């Protein structure tokens, strides 16, 4: 009887929600700030045990599907494996399984999510296998181990609205509606933040770029010196590299805003007096942004999905730029060396570490031990100045040997000699794999 009552209440609420959506279209969930045109968003409300699908058509956000669901049997947001809670936040569905690959508990179809996402992991949350799936047993409210379960007919209907790595799955305790004007104002601020970030990549300095990131999160910037070299080369070739976000989706949970967008690289260059444009899709980039009053800071920056042309690249932006402007490998090596010397001299040991390959070895030390030793020296000396001259670069496909005269000076120690570096090319970047030193 309780189960029947639950679904009777659900049917009534679904009709009311549809009527509300038609009559008051200006109001929408505050967790959906911007949905790209012809894209859908899945919104799960745990209190009502209901799954909703919103769609953006002709610049209008509307409810297009709803169904009863079942979430974790324990109240609250998931924090650890086995707690039988359903997570809360913004996620994306990353795969699809048909019934022939599933046990009956998952019904006729299943979609794994990317929980725990980057932000969850930074908060120390763990667990895995949070899916939206069907079920071959009777659906009951709050009856899962943490997944979101639907009746089989509804999971099959939901499948029509899902695009992997693109359709957001937003899970909340209770849906809060917001006025369209508030939503538009919030969208404008986030888009302005994204546009300014884009300009910092295209024309800004290292410090201007990092200013968009929280002090508590330092992104991988080992590619920056190479990118600067590419920008200089593009200017010589009369090519202006343009970083172009497209299909921007903006979603929110509490004070965290998740921005997912297609990252494109496009050059504008002169050809017989005409502007020529071509565009390369690099992949889908995802920002986790902390919103504090009028201040926005990125606390996570990941690639949700790489374009098929750049799946094997560690830094697809670099690989795409090199493809566009046909960058000279020898110059890339020199830019890498200059960046490495600059990071060492400024005692920026995070940047310094980024110039070394994961399998680096020298003097019996791996990368971690080598960098830790250099960190201790950086703390010990008031200043360090490292310069090089008489560079000899020998390239062989994706490997390179560099010989040069190195002058090392610090507040209490100085030396000179010959340095030999072995570099390997990975994802369009040169990384130091071995380092040898012979004192003068």
Residue 300 forms beta bridges with which residues? 288
Task: For residues 235 and 69, give the distance between their C-alpha atoms in angstroms, rounded to a whole number.
Answer: 55
Question: Which residues in the chain come in under a pLDDT of 70?
Answer: 1-26, 268-278, 326-331, 427-428
> Between β-strands 109-112 and 97-98, what pairing exists: parallel, antiparallel or unpaired?
antiparallel
* pLDDT confidence of residue 126: 93
* pLDDT confidence of residue 5: 43
* Interval 81-135: pLDDT, tens: 999 999 999 999 999 999 888 888 899 999 999 999 999 999 999 999 999 999 9
**Is 178 within 8 Å of 28 (Cβ atoms)?**
yes
User: What are the DSSP calls for 104-153, one per residue?
Assistant: GGGTTEEEEB--S-HHHHHTT------EEE--SS---TT-BSSSEE--HH
* pLDDT confidence of residue 14: 46
Task: For residues 78 and 74, give the distance between their C-alpha atoms in angstroms, rounded to a whole number.
Answer: 9
Distance, CA of 121 to chain centre: 13
* pLDDT confidence of residue 278: 64
* pLDDT confidence of residue 269: 46
* pLDDT confidence of residue 427: 59
71 contacts: CB under 8 Å, gap ≥ 6 = 44, 46, 49, 86, 142, 144, 146, 147, 148, 149, 171
* pLDDT confidence of residue 12: 42
């Amino acid at each position: 009887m309780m189960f029947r009552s639950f679904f009777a209440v659900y049917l009534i609420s679904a009709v009311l929600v549809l009527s509300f959506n038609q009559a008051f279209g200006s109001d929408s969930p505050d967790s959906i700030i911007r949905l790209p045109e012809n894209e859908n968003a899945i919104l799960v409300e745990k209190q009502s045990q209901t799954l909703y699908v919103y769609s953006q058509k002709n610049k209008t956000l509307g409810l297009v599907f709803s169904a009863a669901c079942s979430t974790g049997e324990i109240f609250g947001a998931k924090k650890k494996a086995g707690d039988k809670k359903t997570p809360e936040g913004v996620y994306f569905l990353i795969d699809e399984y048909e019934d022939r690959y599933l046990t009956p508990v998952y019904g006729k179809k299943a979609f794994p999510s990317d929980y725990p996402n980057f932000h969850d992991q930074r908060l120390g949350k763990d667990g895995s296998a949070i899916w939206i799936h069907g079920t071959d047993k009777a659906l009951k409210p709050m009856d899962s181990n943490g997944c979101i379960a639907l009746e089989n007919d509804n999971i099959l209907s939901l499948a029509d609205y899902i695009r992997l790595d693109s359709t957001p799955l937003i899970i909340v305790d209770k849906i809060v509606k917001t006025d369209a004007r508030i939503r538009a104002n919030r969208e404008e601020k986030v888009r302005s933040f994204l546009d300014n970030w884009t300009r910092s990549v295209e024309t800004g300095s290292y410090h201007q770029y990092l200013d968009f990131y929280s002090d508590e999160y330092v992104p991988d910037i080992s590619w920056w010196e190479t990118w600067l070299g590419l920008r200089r080369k593009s200017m010589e070739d009369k090519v202006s590299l343009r970083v172009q976000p497209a299909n921007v989706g903006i979603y929110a949970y509490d004070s965290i805003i998740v921005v997912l967008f297609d990252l494109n690289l496009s050059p504008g260059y002169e050809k017989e007096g005409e502007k020529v444009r071509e565009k390369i899709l690099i992949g889908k980039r995802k920002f986790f942004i902390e919103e504090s009053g009028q201040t926005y800071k990125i606390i996570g920056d990941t690639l949700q999905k790489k374009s098929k042309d750049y799946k094997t690249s560690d830094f697809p932006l670099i690989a795409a730029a090199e493809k566009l402007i046909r960058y000279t490998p020898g110059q890339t090596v020199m830019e890498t060396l200059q960046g490495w010397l600059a990071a060492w001299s400024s005692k920026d040991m995070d940047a310094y570490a980024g110039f070394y390959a994961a399998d680096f070895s020298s003097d019996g030390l791996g990368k971690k031990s080598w960098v830790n030793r250099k960190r201790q020296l950086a703390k010990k000396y008031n200043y360090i100045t490292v310069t090089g001259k008489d560079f000899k670069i020998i390239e062989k496909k994706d490997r390179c040997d560099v010989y040069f005269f190195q002058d090392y000076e610090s507040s209490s120690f100085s030396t000179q000699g010959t340095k030999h570096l072995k570099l390997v090319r990975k994802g369009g970047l040169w990384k130091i794999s071995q380092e040898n030193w012979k004192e003068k």
